[in-house]
């Protein structure tokens, strides 16, 4: 085995170095980093976003071979001066993001990716508009119950196989991202990470079911837009593709069905971790709940069980590789690191450098668009919590969080609905709005689908298709 490239070790080595060289005075005064960070501290985050958007377009070969180095570069660009300037508080924020947010995130995503990759749907599927729409409806319904990642990994490969003979496929993958990887996860805390975090902070488990009207409207309009676009492209396909099939059809069947048991185990573990409180421990100074640590250990056990009990042939025929989850893990490590200053400034509210943006958020409609707009480019889970805290502080100052959330639901419910739907729906606006988006993109590109660029995705699909739907949602539910 060859030695790891030195640049691949640069980020962790530099991180350990900062731990050893940062000020050692444990009694140094606490500082609210969000209130003292300058606006330009968000530049590394902007840099990694622009790299993800532009480098694959301008130099795809370079990006394919060197994207880990790009992610490491922007991580170090943030970490080194951040720690040099603020010492232990900065190290504490980096550790908290790594231990409390990034590691559980990757464990959950990786577990669902591994289990979903062991389920092979066999049978003759023809990528007609009706069949594609049917797969998307099934995925949209499943997403709230097995998670957007679970539903996306389960169904993206059958969808790609069904459309293998078609020339025009990219739009189908994009709308799959819209519906299955985002919109479908609206109805339970298991569906999408923002709702799960809300559940952990006191939002009742079944409250999300009250969002069914918003979800139904958005899902139906998005599906209608897809059917119209796919019907147009279907007419442009070669007649041999559209002609009725005369060859014998292979009946639909599922191979690796036992992986649904592992998937059920994941869902039970996530649910239990939200209602069982077993105390806490400190890991490198970061408080962690014991039930969350046990949940993550159990998820790893489920992933290992799936890997060991699923036939290698099943994964090979499912075209399973580690490439997509590796790309998500590396790029989101850079995103999670560089996102720290923007999130701290947002959480500081009117005391931070992003105060003008926070002051502009007053009505449910404003919360819907600002939460959604920020979720399009930042991780939607902490963004949800940030604007939930903003609403609670503005409407119920001084009230304990769980009591304030119950009062928010009963007295000003439109605010929480706006924050939740903005975070979940508008995670579909870009490839990086939600982790399954990037994973689906990577799987599709491995299968030979030429996906639109970062800006092409926004210009060709988000702006003409999703934004008008979100404007209608604002008028119907939040005005």
What string of pLDDT tens digits covers the 479 residues of the chain? 444 444 444 444 444 444 444 443 434 446 788 889 998 998 998 898 888 878 887 888 898 889 999 999 999 999 999 999 999 999 999 998 888 888 888 898 889 889 988 888 877 777 789 999 999 999 999 999 888 988 998 899 899 988 988 888 999 999 999 999 999 999 988 788 788 778 877 888 889 999 999 999 999 999 999 999 999 998 888 876 666 665 556 677 788 889 989 988 988 888 888 778 888 899 988 888 899 899 999 999 999 999 999 999 988 888 888 888 888 889 888 988 998 888 788 777 777 887 787 777 889 999 999 999 988 887 677 778 778 877 887 788 777 778 888 999 999 999 999 999 999 999 999 988 887 898 899 889 988 899 998 889 999 999 999 999 999 999 999 98
Question: What is the separation, in whole angstroms, between the first and last Cα of the chain?
Answer: 61
What's the confidence (pLDDT) of residue 241? 67
What's the confidence (pLDDT) of residue 19? 43
- At 289, which helix (H) or strand (E)? strand 286-289
What's the confidence (pLDDT) of residue 18? 45
Rounded Cα gap, residues 136 and 422, in angstroms: 21
User: Following DSSP, what letter does each residue of 38-71 receive, concatenated?
Assistant: -GGGGHHHHHHHHHHHHHHHH-HHHHHHHHHHHH
- Structural contact between residues 447 and 160, judged by C-beta atoms closer than 8 angstroms: yes
Q: Which residues pair with 289 in a beta bridge?
A: 280
* Whole-number Cα distances in Å, 181 to 39, 131, 173: 32, 18, 10
The H-assigned helical ranges of 243-339 are: 259-275, 290-309, 312-317, 323-338
Question: Which among 360, 203, 403, 463 is positioned nearest to 371, based on CA atoms?
Answer: 360
What's the confidence (pLDDT) of residue 243? 66
Rounded Cα gap, residues 385 and 389, in angstroms: 6
Provide the 10 A C-beta neighbour count for residue 142. Answer: 20
- Structural contact between residues 180 and 149, judged by C-beta atoms closer than 8 angstroms: no
**What angle separates helix 290-309 from helix 259-275, to the nearest 10 degrees?**
180
What's the confidence (pLDDT) of residue 343? 79
pTM of the model: 0.80
Question: Which among 188, 109, 196 is positioned nearest to 141, based on CA atoms?
Answer: 188
């Amino acid at each position: 085995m060859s030695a790891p490239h030195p640049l691949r070790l640069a980020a962790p080595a530099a991180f350990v170095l900062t731990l050893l060289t940062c000020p050692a005075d444990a009694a140094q005064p606490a500082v609210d980093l969000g209130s003292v960070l300058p606006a330009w501290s968000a530049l590394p985050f902007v840099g990694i976003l622009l790299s993800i958007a532009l480098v694959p377009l301008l130099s795809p070969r370079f990006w394919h071979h060197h994207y880990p180095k790009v992610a490491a570069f922007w991580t170090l660009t943030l970490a080194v001066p951040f720690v040099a300037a603020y010492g232990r508080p900065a190290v504490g924020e980096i550790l908290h993001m790594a231990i409390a947010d990034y590691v559980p995130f990757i464990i959950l995503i990786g577990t669902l990716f591994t289990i979903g990759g062991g389920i092979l749907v066999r049978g003759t599927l023809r990528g007609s508009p009706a069949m594609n729409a049917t797969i998307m409806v099934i995925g949209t319904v499943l997403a709230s119950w097995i998670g957007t990642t679970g539903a996306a990994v389960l169904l993206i490969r059958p969808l790609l196989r069904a459309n293998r003979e078609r020339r025009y496929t990219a739009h189908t993958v994009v709308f799959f991202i819209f519906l299955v990887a985002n919109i479908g996860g609206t109805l339970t805390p298991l569906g999408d990470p923002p709702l799960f975090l809300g559940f952990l902070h006191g939002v009742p488990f079944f409250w999300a079911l009250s969002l069914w009207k918003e979800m139904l409207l958005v899902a139906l309009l998005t599906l209608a837009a897809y059917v119209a676009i796919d019907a147009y492209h279907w007419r442009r396909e070669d007649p041999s593709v559209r002609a009725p099939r005369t060859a014998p059809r292979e009946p639909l069947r599922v191979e690796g069905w036992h992986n649904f048991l592992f998937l059920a185990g994941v869902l039970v573990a996530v649910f239990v971790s939200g209602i069982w409180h077993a105390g806490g421990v400190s890991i490198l100074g970061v408080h962690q709940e014991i039930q969350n640590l046990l949940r993550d250990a159990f998820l790893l056990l489920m992933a290992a069980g799936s890997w060991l009990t699923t036939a290698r042939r099943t994964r090979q025929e499912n075209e399973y590789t580690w490439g997509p989850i590796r790309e998500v893990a590396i790029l989101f490590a850079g995103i999670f690191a560089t996102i720290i200053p923007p999130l701290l400034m947002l959480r500081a509210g009117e005391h931070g450098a992003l105060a003008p943006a926070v002051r502009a958020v007053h009505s449910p409609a404003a919360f819907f668009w600002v939460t959604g707009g920020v979720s399009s480019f930042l991780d939607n889970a902490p963004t949800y919590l940030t604007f939930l805290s903003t609403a609670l502080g503005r409407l119920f100052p001084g009230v304990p969080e769980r009591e304030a959330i119950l009062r928010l639901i009963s007295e000003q419910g439109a605010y929480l609905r706006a924050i939740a739907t903005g975070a979940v729906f508008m995670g579909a606006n870009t490839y990086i709005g939600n982790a399954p988006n990037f994973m689906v993109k990577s799987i599709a590109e491995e299968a030979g689908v030429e996906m639109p660029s970062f800006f092409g995705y926004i210009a060709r699909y988000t702006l003409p298709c999703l934004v008008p739907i979100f404007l209608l949602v604002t008028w119907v539910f939040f005005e």
